[in-house]
Amino acid sequence: MPANKNNDANQQQGPRGQKRRNEQEAKTKLANLKTNLKTVVKKIEDVEKEKEHWKKELALRVGNDDDLDAKVEALFEQCGKKDEEVAKKAEENVGEESRTSWW
């Protein structure tokens, strides 16, 4: 029967009791919304920080790729020069062998 007593008390309070309950519910909802909003703002800030981190990381990688391209180009040039040197030596050796061979 205590539930009935509460209902009776609420009914006796009339619109004022309902107004207080509505105000309390509104305050609770507002507090929950503020908490949810803070959580969302924190997540957005975290995403922005992560986005900035990856922008910097990609910029570093792109910068390093330019360095790598230059290094690769230099290695190709070195290989090309070495190939030319080897080819010249091979031609010289073939020429000497043909002059020295007596068959």
pLDDT in tens, 33-68: 999 999 999 999 999 889 888 888 887 877 666 677
pTM > 0.85: no
Contact 17, 10 (CB under 8 A): yes
Q: What's the CA gap between 60 and 31, in Å, rounded?
A: 44
Residue 7: domain span: 2-100
pLDDT for the residue 98: 56
Domains of the chain: total: 1
Q: Which of 30-34, 64-68, 75-79, 92-96 holds the top average pLDDT?
A: 30-34
pLDDT band of 1, cuts 50, 70, 90: very low
Task: Please list the helix, strand and coil fractions of the chain in percent, rounded to the nearest 5, in that order.
Answer: 95, 0, 5
pLDDT of residue 44: 92
DSSP secondary structure of 10-45: HHHHTHHHHHHHHHHHHHHHHHHHHHHHHHHHHHHH
